[in-house]
Amino acid sequence: MAIPVKPPAAERLRPTPWDALIAALVLGAAVLLALSLRPAPAGPLTAVITLDGQIVAQYELDRLMEPAALPVGGPYPLVVEAEPGRIRIAESACPGGDCLRSGWADRAGDRIICLPNRLVISLTGGEEAVPEFDAVSG
Amino acid sequence: MKHRFSFLLAAFFVFFTGCAGLKGEDAPASAQIFAMDTAAELTAYGPEGQAGVDAARAEINRLEALLSRTRPDSAISALNGAGAGNPVTLDGETFALLALAQDVSEATGGAFDVTVAPVMDAWGWTGGERRVPPPEELAALLPLVGAQDLELNPEASSARLARAGMKADLGGIAKGYAAGRAGEAVRAAGVTCAMLDLGGNITVIGNNPEGIPWRVAVKDPAHPGDYLCVLSLTDCTVSTSGGYERFFEADGVTYHHILDPKTGYPAASGLRSVSVVSENAALADALSTACFVLGAEDALALWRSGGGLDPFELVLCREDGVVTVTEGLEEGLRFLGGDHGYTCETARR
């Protein structure tokens, strides 16, 4: 009775068309994954101003041609100042003045808060790299 | 052949299952609320996202009503208004939080103290006009500070303040506690991916929408808009305290809001900021204040000993530009402070 003989090790390790097919499939999967995780276009750098949760104004800071001042009423009147590419609270009658000391906000993810007025300025978008994080502590 | 198909299956598993997240699904549910003396942003992903956000909002509002010192009908107001030596029966939740606050106070040698309220008031940090109290005023107020004189009776679930003029204020721990409870409410609503931002006190639920750990940046306390590092976190809270958050200037001197309960003056421990990461959100909140007061060496000693507290990890930013990160945060850490001259070191047990 003939005993089946295994092919030599070198022959068994030689790439076959199956190997090529598997490599192509894995490569294709990687490309699909990369495409699916590609960040969406960020859009213009936009400042959204909310007062007690309601949007009161919105500025596309990238496209702003000249400075703009927005007086906001509320318990402690304040003035929001927007310039091409950045925004701040320029004046505020609030007791602590923390919002004034926040200075300019000019990047996606930046926030300026005036707690006594319940006012929040949030920045999104912009041409700079999309932030490589999900949240900011501090 | 069998091995090849196993490899193929494994590859597909990694690419399509392991990385599966909620990124491609509908926009997350979100809400902005003002509570706990901060602006909170609540974000929850998935089909139960709106229910999760609603549950978190309700929980935070409930706890503010229970724990705020400025709400006349709160449990803490009842304690403060009872008069010296008079016990007040408290609900189990308020009692447990006061007990945790006392544990932290004991573990930190008084660096965290919920009875520092009279001194905070004198500086104007609780809504009044900010000012530097004269030394004689502070000297008169300091005897009113001392967590050991907030007496808790577990059998009766009651508390009392030993001396006239003492006040309790859970401001240094309530925000974290609320974040933790809100996180539980979000989970109970069936949400597995959410982020609760209570004024920079970040609580993350599960992984991020891409299916990987949440990436939480820590602010650079000296350069607004820049960051010290990015932490890689799942199911925990990171709470950051620093003198840069709230401050004022008088006669050319900057005074920040984190007071050393022993001196009554802003803590000057050589730290610019402290971030504490823990699964216990209330503990993270309280320890970020306490460790800022303690300074780097004592904070690391507390981390090494554990202090009888739940596990926690630290990011310490020193005034000399050294950023110390404890070893539990090493995995996935991205250091970003090099451009501003910071150096990063890892603390080990």
For chain A, 138 residues long, give each residue's pLDDT as a single digit of tens: 555 555 565 566 677 888 888 888 878 777 776 655 555 556 889 999 999 889 999 999 999 999 999 999 888 999 999 999 999 999 999 988 889 988 899 988 888 999 999 999 999 887 665 668 999 999
pLDDT at B23 over 90: no
Let me know if residue A60 belongs to a domain: yes
> Do the domain assignments include residue A1?
no
Say which DSSP state B313 is in. Answer: E
Residue B186 half-sphere exposure, CB side, CA atoms within 13 Å?
31
Does residue B13 register a pLDDT over 50? no
Residue type, position B70, single letter: T
User: CA of A62: how far to CAs of A79, A88, A123, B54, in Å?
Assistant: 20, 15, 11, 34
B3 — pLDDT class (breaks 50, 70, 90): low
Instruction: Please state, rounded to an integer, the average pLDDT across all residues of chain B.
Output: 93
Which residue from A18, A19, A135 is facing B197, i.e. has the nearest CB? A135
What are the angstrom distances between the C-alpha of B211 and each of B16, B94, B141, B208? Answer: 11, 36, 51, 5
- Interior CA angle at B201 toward B195 and B203, to 5°? 30
pLDDT at B318 over 70: yes
Residues 6+ apart with CB under 8 A from B295: B269, B270, B271
In a mutagenesis test of the A interface, which of B53, B195, B219, B230 is the best target, namely the one with the most A β-carbons within 10 Å? Answer: B230
Q: Of A26, A102, A115, which is closest to B11 when you measure between CB atoms? A: A26
pTM for the predicted model, two decimal places:
0.85
pLDDT of residue B17: 42
Q: How far apart are CA A137 and CA B195, in angstroms?
A: 12
Q: Which residues contact B139 (CB under 8 A, 6 or more apart)?
A: none
Question: Which structural domain, as residue segments, surrounds residue A115?
Answer: 46-124
Model pLDDT for residues B37-65, shown as the tens digit of each residue: 899 999 999 999 999 999 999 999 999 99
- With contact defined as beta carbons under 8 Å apart, do B180 and B281 qualify? yes
User: Is residue A130 left, alpha or beta, with left meaning phi > 0 and alpha meaning psi from -120 to 50?
Assistant: beta
Tokens read off for B52? 């999760």
Is residue A32 domain-resident?
Answer: no
Report the number of secondary-structure helices (H) and strands (E) in chain A.
3, 8
pLDDT computed for residue B19 by the predictor: 41
Please report the pLDDT score of residue A34 as a whole number. 62
Retrieve residue B99's tokens: 């007990």
| Domains of chain A: total | 1
Q: A-side interface with B, Cβ within 8 Å?
A: 18-19, 22, 25-26, 29-30, 32-33, 36-37, 50, 52-53, 95-98, 101-103, 105-107, 110-111, 113, 115, 118, 120, 131-138
**CB B37, CB A96: distance < 8 Å:** no
Q: Do the chains contact at B130 and A96, CB–CB below 8 Å?
A: yes
pLDDT for B21 equals: 59
Element spanning B177, H or E? helix B174-188
pLDDT digits (tens, 9 = 90+) for B203-232: 999 999 999 999 999 999 999 888 999 999
pLDDT value, residue B335: 98
In a domain, A22, yes or no: no
Question: Is the separation of the CB atoms in B344 and B317 below 8 Å?
Answer: no
**A20 within some domain:** no
pLDDT score recorded for residue B346: 98
State residue B22's pLDDT score.
67
Task: Please check whether residue B168 is in contact with residue B158, taking contact to mean a CB–CB distance below 8 angstroms.
Answer: no
- The answer to whether residues B278 and B310 touch, using CB atoms and an 8 Å cutoff, is yes
B291: helix, strand or coil: helix
Domain contains A21: no
In the structure, how many helices (H) and strands (E) does chain B have?
Answer: 9, 17
Q: Distance between CA atoms of B293 and B111, rounded to whole angstroms?
A: 6
Could you give all domains of chain B from N- to C-terminal order, each with its CATH number? 70-168 (1.10.3980.10), 213-347 (3.10.520.10)
CB A137 within 8 A of CB B218: yes
Note the pLDDT of residue B14. Answer: 45
Across-strand partners of B160? B151
Examine residue A56 and state whether it is found in any structural domain, yes or no: yes
CA separation for the pair A7, B113 (Å, rounded): 78
Beta carbons of B23 and A37 less than 8 Å apart: yes
Mutation pick from B1, B9, B14, B15 vs chain A, by most beta carbons of A within 10 Å, is: B15
At residue B299, does pLDDT exceed 80?
yes
Residue A129 domain-assigned (yes or no): no
- Side-chain half-sphere CA neighbours of B133 within 13 A: 22
Residue A71 is part of a domain; what is its CATH number? 2.60.320.10
Nearest by CB to B218, which of A101, A118, A138?
A138
Q: Which chain B residues contact residue A30 at CB under 8 A? A: 15
B18 has a pLDDT exceeding 90: no
